[in-house]
Structure 1
Amino acid sequence: MMEPRPAPPLQDVDNQELENLLSSLPKERGIIPSYSYQYQGFWYSPITLQGIINCQKYFQPRENDIFLVTSPKSGTTWLKAILFALVNREAHPPQDPHHPLLSKTPHQLVPFLEFLHPSEYDSLCNSSDSSSRIFATHISLGTLPKAITGDSGSLNCKIVYLCRDIKDTFVSLFHFGNNKKTSPISLEDAFNLYCKGISSAGPIWDQILGYWKESQKNQHKVLFMRYEEMKDEPYLQLRRLANFLGIPFSQEEESSGLVDQIISICSFESMTKVDVNKTGTFVDGFNNSSFFRKGVVGDWKNCLTADMASRLDQITEEKFRGSGLSL
């Protein structure tokens, strides 16, 4: 069991400190934010970067913390709901008419680490196990707080990594960003930035590869999942996730239809009917409804030209060559 380290005094990154940092970093036009800044090899918005600096300084993991890591628009909202429902299935049975997923968004129940204030780390209580919290993040493996990755490189908690077809991820990101912008970015401009790796938490290929390689050498700590497999085999993948977290379904739970119930309450169809997911706003002014667009596989065909699709496929093949990974 890990011995807790004494918490340092909390002192949020102030505006001047952030401005000084931003002025020292490479800067490019952003697909979602007006500008993105390159920090430790990856591109982030100013608000995300502030949260990253905070968690690098102050976050201390608990023994059984769970991290859901994704590239933006890879199925994050869906898997947040599944993780919450799975981990809390005894305290909150999925058939409960007062289930938290019916009154709160998945982002409220499983917050992004980089959007929390340091004072909120310890107060988060979203698991029936007091030694465990569920966080989400878009942060790359090398940028995670050292308290998570450990001085020797051994992870101090469990990571569930979810990725998605690069073409669908880009299309979803493009539409998501333009939902909020008063001056939308063109598809061509967004595509060119994306191919250069200049996207939120990008280059996406580098982020995926980092967690893929870690999952290969540290299988009991990192579970690598694919969005398309979740869609095709939800029962198999949910059982796989439960086994990885050390909370497998019992025979009684299987017989009672619990797996089906979790899949049902977390489905796109169910979540889009919940009032809280249709109204209100998320961090930085995004509407809660903007997190529920289509949720289908292969939607890139309705947006990208054949040349665009071919270019992304070529980059993906080149980046992943020799890694054993294919998307």
Structure 2
Amino acid sequence: MNKTVSGGKSVIKALLPSFVKKRMKAAKERINFSGMLRDSDVFLVGHPKSGNTWLAFMLAVLAENDHEERVNTSNIGDFVPTIHNWDQSIGKYEGLHSPRIFRNEAPKYPGLYPKTIYIVRDPRAALLSYYHHCVHDTRSTDWSISDFVDEMLSEGCIKSLEPHLIRWDRQVENWLKRAERQPVIFVKYEDLKTNCSGTLKKLSDFIGLDCSDDTIELARTRGSFSNMRANEKKFGAESYPGEKGARGFFMRKGKIDSWNEEMSAEVIEKIERNFFPVMEKMGYSPHRGDLHLR
């Protein structure tokens, strides 16, 4: 009887249209993911090169109270795992103590996240940094920043590298809306540069970490650009395993506005024209203050 029922179900499933099968699979994965979550789980989300790795490093230092310097630039994922576009992989991290912190640049089930830290960076700086990262990964010698930005604006991603990404402005808008109905805290890259200790204190409270002022200061000091660069020279970067700066550093410059020096006025204006409404919401001004962008 059971075999008959099972066989009947298999036949029915085989006859289902492919889109129905995909929806059933997605629903099953969503349920499985929900069952893996802990109420204390925190997800660090942001567009690539918005300071995600930098912040993850400092949060790992906070969560581990890492005076022994176990956390370094090559093993951040042991403490704050990367699960980009693969939410259900959190099941591999049952051994991590609570609160667990995960990094995800392309969430699949963001509506289920118990808590989210959304890190945002000036898109002109984020796209410039992402360009250098992609050039490093592809070893391209003839990829212009203008062509790169054109694809990021038209497609929202570099389709040959990370097709699951969405445009900077759409991702930010999505999380602004989510913040109205679920626990989300926004942190700006620029605030981490100008008031790192104060920002880390707010984040530790949000996560539920009981951090002393000494631990906050430890994370801030360990997370300075000079210390991060020295750490990468010694241990390498998790994104560039074994290289130790051989083809450039993951921690490239760590500046707020180097885009003003490295991109042409034409490229900057392209970005601003596309992203201005959301840039304005997040406090980012056009580089020349052009009112006609409004």
For the aligned pair, the TM-score class normalised by the smaller chain equals: 0.7 to 0.9
Q: Aligned partners of 1:226, 1:299: CA distance in 2, in Å?
A: 16
Counterpart residue identity of residue 75, structure 1: G
Q: Aligned partners of 2:244, 2:174: CA distance in 1, in Å?
A: 30
- TM-score, normalised to structure 2, is 0.73
Task: Tell whether 2:90 aligns with 1:114.
Answer: no
Task: Tell whether 2:62 aligns with 1:100.
Answer: no
Other-structure match for 2:154: 196
Deviation at 1:74, TM superposition (A): 0.5
Other-structure match for 1:315: 274
Q: Secondary structure at the match of 1:272?
A: helix
- TM-score, normalised to structure 1, is 0.66
Q: Aligned partners of 1:105, 1:198: CA distance in 2, in Å?
A: 29
Q: Aligned partners of 2:27, 2:271: CA distance in 1, in Å?
A: 31
1:226-283 Cα offsets, whole Å, 9 max, x none, are: 000110111110111112122354xxx22xx332111111222212222676537638
Deviation at 1:111, TM superposition (A): 1.9
Query: Which of 92, 97, 100 is matched with 1:133 structurally?
Result: 100
Other-structure match for 1:43: none
Q: Secondary structure at the match of 2:255?
A: coil
Q: Secondary structure at the match of 1:225?
A: strand
Q: Does the 8 Å contact 2:45/2:118 carry over to 1?
A: yes
Max radius of gyration: which structure? 2
Other-structure match for 2:111: 149
For residues 287 and 205 of structure 1, do their structure 2 counterparts lie closer, same or farther at Cα, with a shift above 3 Å needed? farther
Counterpart residue identity of residue 176, structure 1: H
Task: Tell whether 2:116 aligns with 1:159.
Answer: yes
Deviation at 1:222, TM superposition (A): 0.6
Q: Does the 8 Å contact 1:125/1:133 carry over to 2?
A: no
Query: Which of 263, 272, 280 is matched with 2:229 structurally?
Result: 272
Task: Tell whether 2:223 aligns with 1:223.
Answer: no
Q: Which runs of 5+ in 1 are unaligned?
A: 1-20, 25-51
Q: Aligned partners of 1:118, 1:216: CA distance in 2, in Å?
A: 25
Other-structure match for 1:85: 61
Other-structure match for 1:243: 205
Summarize the alignment of residues 52-67 of structure 1 with structure 2, pairs less than 5 Å apart.
56=30, 58-59=32-33, 60-67=36-43
Q: Does the 8 Å contact 2:118/2:186 carry over to 1?
A: yes
CA RMSD, 1 decimal: 3.2
Other-structure match for 1:306: 265
Q: Percent identity?
A: 20
Query: Which of 275, 285, 292 is matched with 2:251 structurally?
Result: 292
Counterpart residue identity of residue 133, structure 1: R
For residues 288 and 133 of structure 1, do their structure 2 counterparts lie closer, same or farther at Cα, with a shift above 3 Å needed? farther
Runs of 4+ residues over 4 Å off in structure 1 = 52-58, 115-120, 275-278, 285-289
Counterpart residue identity of residue 66, structure 1: V
Task: Tell whether 2:184 aligns with 1:208.
Answer: no
Q: Does the 8 Å contact 2:74/2:232 carry over to 1?
A: no
For residues 158 and 119 of structure 1, do their structure 2 counterparts lie closer, same or farther at Cα, with a shift above 3 Å needed? closer
Deviation at 1:287, TM superposition (A): 5.2
For residues 319 and 275 of structure 1, do their structure 2 counterparts lie closer, same or farther at Cα, with a shift above 3 Å needed? closer
Q: Which runs of 5+ in 2 are unaligned?
A: 1-17, 20-25, 285-294
